Amino acid sequence: MNAQVMHSRTATDTTTRPAFGTKMASTMAVASFRDGKWSAHELRKFGPIEISPAAHALHYGSSCFEGFKAYRWADGSINIFRMDRHITRMRQSARGLVMPEPDAAQLAAMVTAVVDRVRNEVPEAPGALYLRPMLFGLGASIGGATTPPTEAMLIVLASPVWDYFSKGPKALRIYVEERATRCASQLGMIKTGGNYAAAMGPTTTARQKHQADQVLFCPGGEVQETGAANFLLIREGTILTRSLDQTFLHGVTRDSLLTIAPDMGFKVDERVFTVDEMLEWVKDGEAALSGTAAVLAGVGSLVRAGGTEYKVGSGDVGAQTRRLRSALIAMQQGEVPTPAGWTTRV
Ligand SMILES: Cc1ncc(COP(=O)(O)O)c(C=O)c1O
């Protein structure tokens, strides 16, 4: 066993696991867009980059990113889950922000090159290698408030990760935000930093005032999504989740769960629903957050403005949430076959 493998094995000890996203893999991939075209990418040691303080992204928020994972399977192979979908979403985000669009084949090559280079740093299950492509606008002009960047940088970072929620598999407490929106409505399905900045205030307040783990945004009383995950209700064999529209991020985990659910005996109901309907469902149902980082995290309670609390089912992570979570993890870990094209072996 070489030193790097020994190191990652030690780090999976629960007492020494770093917080999600705080440890970076040793290599990153970098490409630049200039004069209307992408440069060849290069692999570099993870570390600082130099950009102009006048860079477009630093002033006008021209940035987008992705988040997905590579898993070490029991046979030792490293497999990326649903890379194509995430690359498609990254390109859609770039288009939505009028930024240079990464080439799909080049981005895939950058991701697989990084994973290959750091394969010894991929933790064993339940850990994974979190992959973070990021695109941001450059150029040295602070006069670009109404013009998109003509130069940009594309970087693929990687980070060995374990649990996203520090509470581990414990049920979450969610604040139901019925007034503020998570982001500008036309940016909902775009994964851009400004959306997270917009949600930071309401999320911090909900943490301080209501001890909430996350905020469920329900502008105008319609249930949408949380700050970093989609939202699902489960009751009597039916999964209810908001139908796709421009107002929220189209989660790949959401799509994976809804794809496998019918074979597990669930009916899938995708439609707009209200906070009142949600509060009826959770009396004897389950609620969960879905996302690459959260996987499928059970909700134990909902709290509304004024502090009224609503228990979700028994208050623990529900049985159907556990079942769906296990089924998804089994696919991510290569224990059961996935639909075609969901895994990329590196
Ligand atoms: C706002 C938001 N919604 C939903 C998701 C879930 O998306 P995915 O399942 O593709 O990770 C995320 C996570 O990336 C997110 O940040």
pLDDT tens profile 317-330: 999 999 999 999 99
3-161 with 172-332: one CATH topology?
no
Instruction: Give the model's pLDDT for residue 266.
Output: 98
Instruction: Give the model's pLDDT for residue 14.
Output: 55
Nearest atom within ligand 1 for CA of residue 67:
14
Pocket test for ligand 1, best of 256, 292, 295, 329 (most atoms within 8 A of CB): 292
Instruction: Give the model's pLDDT for residue 15.
Output: 58
Q: For the chain, give every domain's residue range.
A: 3-161, 172-332
pLDDT bucket at 17, cuts 50 / 70 / 90: confident
Task: Determine the distance separating the centroid of ligand 1 and the alpha carbon of 309, expressed in angstroms.
Answer: 26
Nearest atom within ligand 1 for CA of residue 254:
9
* Mean pLDDT for all residues in the chain: 93
How much is the average pLDDT of 116-145? 95
| Residue nearest ligand 1's atom 2 by CA | 228
The topology (CATH level 3) of 172-332 is: D-amino Acid Aminotransferase; Chain A, domain 2 (3.20.10)
Task: Determine the distance separating the centroid of ligand 1 and the alpha carbon of 103, expressed in angstroms.
Answer: 22
**Ligand 1 in reach of 67 Cβ (< 6 A):** yes
Task: Determine the distance separating the centroid of ligand 1 and the alpha carbon of 112, expressed in angstroms.
Answer: 21
Contact between 288 and 169 under an 8 Å Cβ cutoff? The reply is no
Nearest atom within ligand 1 for CA of residue 86:
10
| Mean pLDDT lowest among 7-11, 101-105, 115-119, 132-136 | 7-11
Pocket test for ligand 1, best of 196, 249, 260, 295 (most atoms within 8 A of CB): 249
Q: What percent of the chain has pLDDT over 90?
A: 89
pLDDT bucket at 6, cuts 50 / 70 / 90: very low
Instruction: Give the model's pLDDT for residue 5.
Output: 37
Using CA of residue 287, residue 289, residue 294, residue 300, what is the dihedral sign? Answer: negative
Contact between 4 and 123 under an 8 Å Cβ cutoff? The reply is no
pLDDT at residue 239 is higher than 90: yes
Instruction: Give the model's pLDDT for residue 3.
Output: 35
pLDDT at residue 11 is higher than 70: no
| Mean pLDDT lowest among 112-126, 157-171, 284-298, 319-333 | 157-171
Q: Which residues are catalytic?
A: 191
pLDDT bucket at 169, cuts 50 / 70 / 90: confident
Instruction: Give the model's pLDDT for residue 12.
Output: 47
**Ligand 1 in reach of 228 Cβ (< 6 A):** yes
Instruction: Give the model's pLDDT for residue 140.
Output: 84
Q: Give CA separation, 59 vs 102, 113, 138, 191, 301, in Å.
A: 21, 31, 10, 18, 39
How much is the average pLDDT of 26-42? 98
**Ligand 1 in reach of 129 Cβ (< 6 A):** no
pLDDT bucket at 220, cuts 50 / 70 / 90: very high
Q: Which residues contact 56 (CB under 8 A, 6 or more apart)?
A: 62, 136, 137, 138, 139, 141, 144, 148, 149, 151
pLDDT tens profile 283-308: 999 999 999 988 999 999 999 999 99
3-161 is classed in which CATH architecture?
A: 2-Layer Sandwich (3.30)
Task: Determine the distance separating the centroid of ligand 1 and the alpha carbon of 292, expressed in angstroms.
Answer: 7
Closest CA to 112 of 95, 94, 133: 133
Nearest atom within ligand 1 for CA of residue 85:
10
d(C-alpha 250, C-alpha 113), whole Å: 26
**Ligand 1 in reach of 153 Cβ (< 6 A):** no
The residue ranking higher by pLDDT, 165 or 2, is: 165
Angle in degrees, CA 303, 306, 310, rounded to 5:
30
Task: Determine the distance separating the centroid of ligand 1 and the alpha carbon of 211, expressed in angstroms.
Answer: 22
Look up the pTM and report it.
0.93
